[in-house]
Amino acid sequence: MLFNPVAVHEISGLEIGIRILIAVLIGGLVGVEREHKNRPAGLRTHVLVCLGACTVAMIECLYAASLDRSTDSQITYNFGRLCAQVISGIGFLGAGTIFTSQKKIAGLTTAASLWNTACLGLAAGYGYYWVALFGCILVLLTLMVLQKVIRVNANKRVEVHFIHRNETIEFIKEVFEKNNVKVLDLDFHIESTGDPNSNDPNVYTNIYTLHLPPSLSYTDLINTLAAYRNIQTVRTTNT
């Protein structure tokens, strides 16, 4: 028989209850964090995923233990087969949390948290409590703390629509230099015609590909640029 002798044994009613409670607790903790951030998969989804994975693991343990008591030595059982299907099958839920819009992908973190929650549920179902609890702590730290400790600003395109070209470009350069913003690429075109009575009637569009220092967010940069009187609109897009 192919099984893990540590995990497979008779499970008492009390132990079943403990494993289920741990699975619900783990799923609830991760789910609350996702719910707080208004993600597609929240509290109930994570609890159900973790509980379902835990249930599958316990069923496999009980079934393997029953075969172990069998007098027929020819019966073999590939331990872990059901749980392998849980890990691969969770993909349909993860796919449902991922959205694509205007070349932007969202929901990958939530999909990863669902997959991790399923794995932690399996650990709880097998009775590896410390693996499940420590794994839960690390998942929560990753979701709640890591981004605040390690800030990585991805390169983005900042599209600026403005009038009075010379004056405004000088202002934009000063903002970039003051905040250590690196301009990786620049596209320029005249989008439309503005006030014909002005000395410079054109409306210009500069599309900058930028790299920001960790201390500066794109929100702060956009607010600074948008406050200038000659700048009409500012928006960001992924590179």
Residue with tokens 């000659």, as numbered in its chain? 230
Q: Which residues 6+ apart lie within 8 Å of 169 measured at CB?
A: 206
**119 and 199 inside one domain:** no
Q: 189 and 104 in one domain?
A: no
- Indicate the pTM of the whole model: 0.67
Lookup result for tokens 């079943």: 16
User: Looking at this protein, which amino acid is placed at residue 200?
Assistant: D
User: 90 and 114 in contact (C-beta within 8 Å)?
Assistant: yes
The answer on 176 and 140 residing in a single domain is no
Confidence of residue 100 (pLDDT cuts 50, 70, 90): low
Mean pLDDT of the chain: 81
Please tell me whether residues 103 and 177 are part of one structural domain: no
User: What is the pLDDT confidence band of residue 103, given thresholds at 50, 70 and 90?
Assistant: low
The CATH number for 215's domain is: 3.30.70.60
- Single out the residue in 149, 181, 199 at which a domain terminates: 149
Long-range contacts for 34-41 (Cβ within 8 Å, ≥24 apart)? 34/110, 34/113, 34/143, 39/97, 39/107, 39/109, 39/110, 40/96, 40/97, 40/99, 40/107, 40/110, 41/93, 41/96, 41/97, 41/110, 41/111, 41/113, 41/114
Per-residue pLDDT tens over the stretch 170-211 = 999 999 999 888 888 888 888 666 556 666 678 888 899 888
Q: Check whether residue 127 and residue 17 sit in a common domain.
A: yes
Domain check: are 137 and 191 in the same one?
no
Q: Which of 120, 149, 178 is the last residue of a domain?
A: 149
- Cα separation, 17 vs 13, in Å, equals 6
Domain finish residue from 149, 174, 190: 149
pLDDT of residue 5: 40
Question: Can you tell me the distance from the alpha carbon of 180 to that of 91, in angstroms, rounded to the nearest whole number?
Answer: 41
How many structural domains are present in the chain?
A: 2
pLDDT at residue 6 in the model: 41
Average pLDDT over residues 222-235: 89
Helix (H, G, I), strand (E, B) or coil at 209: strand
> Which runs of E-coded beta strand occur in 47-181?
99-101, 104-106, 156-162
Residues 182 and 138 in one domain: no
Given this model, what pLDDT does residue 4 score? 41
Name the residue range of residue 57's domain. Answer: 13-149
CB 129 within 8 A of CB 57: no
| Confidence tier at 27 by pLDDT (50, 70, 90) | very high
Say if residue 223 is in the same domain as residue 118: no
User: Looking at residue 83, what DSSP letter applies?
Assistant: H
List pLDDT tens digits, range 141-169: 988 887 777 766 677 888 998 888 889 99
- Residue 120: pLDDT above 90? yes
**Among residues 234, 219, 238, 233, which one has the least CA distance to residue 179?**
219
